[in-house]
Amino acid sequence: MNQTTMPIVRKAIDRGHVQIDWLNSYHTFSFGNYHDPNWMGFRTLRVINDDVIAPASGFGTHGHRDMEIITYVLSGALEHKDSLGTGAIIYPGEVQRMTAGTGITHSEFNQSSTEPVHLLQIWIIPDTVDLTPSYEQKAFATAEKQGKLRLVASRDGQDGSVTIHQNLNLYIGLLEGDDSISYQVQPDRSAWLHVAQGEITIDGRILTAGDAIAYPSGSKLEISSESNGEILLFDLL
């Protein structure tokens, strides 16, 4: 889905689903063996995979190219190793950006013997192919996201966000109690809002974890939560 003239809701229950002994994964857009021609992505946003990895398990070494890959851990801790020589642990509140470019291999593993890892893996189509592969990881404190939208990824790395090779801004917000967030989508842009955890109310609609909604240009978003909610908001061309 590349265009919309009115808000369109993507319910969590309608996503693609793969479950094996060590992985429980939901696909917002077509991915792997799940294919729906109506849900091939939104603008330059190509993948949102909602993954739970069992203890002492993970993705073995595999390759990517010409994609901006963002990993956001919701709970647990994810070990990352790649062909650039990077070795890191991604914790909740941290955003990892990997530019696959001309080609990169990496692995992702849950080192805990008792606790699962819950993460979102996001793929964004870059504005340039054959980039030099690179890696970046930054932490964003809870206070920076509470009751507001914190920019965590952008083309120019503004406000301390990670840098991506696309005209896209990714924000993360936390809501609880009386928190409310307003957001204006500019006339030449669109927005995709994904509920990562909890429950929110947006323009009178109640959305729960895994739900998403696409907004056309010029929309005004009014977001609140009577319980707890965490959202990712993609502002893109």
pTM (global) more than 0.95: yes
The pLDDT of residue 94 is: 97
CA dist., res. 100 & res. 221, Å (int): 33
Which of 122, 172, 72, 50 shows the shortest CA–CA distance to 80?
72
User: Is the domain defined by 8-236 classed in CATH 2.60.120.10?
Assistant: yes
Per-residue pLDDT tens digits of the chain, which is 237 residues long: 776 779 999 999 999 999 999 999 999 999 999 999 999 999 999 999 999 999 999 999 999 999 999 999 999 999 999 999 999 999 999 999 999 999 999 999 999 999 999 999 999 999 999 999 999 999 999 999 999 999 999 999 999 999 999 999 999 999 999 899 999 999 999 999 999 999 999 989 999 999 999 999 999 999 999 889 999 999 999
**Which tokens in the block code for residue 135?**
């890696």
Positive or negative CA dihedral for 67, 72, 54, 48? negative
CA dist., res. 161 & res. 112, Å (int): 28
Q: Enter the DSSP assignment of 44.
A: T
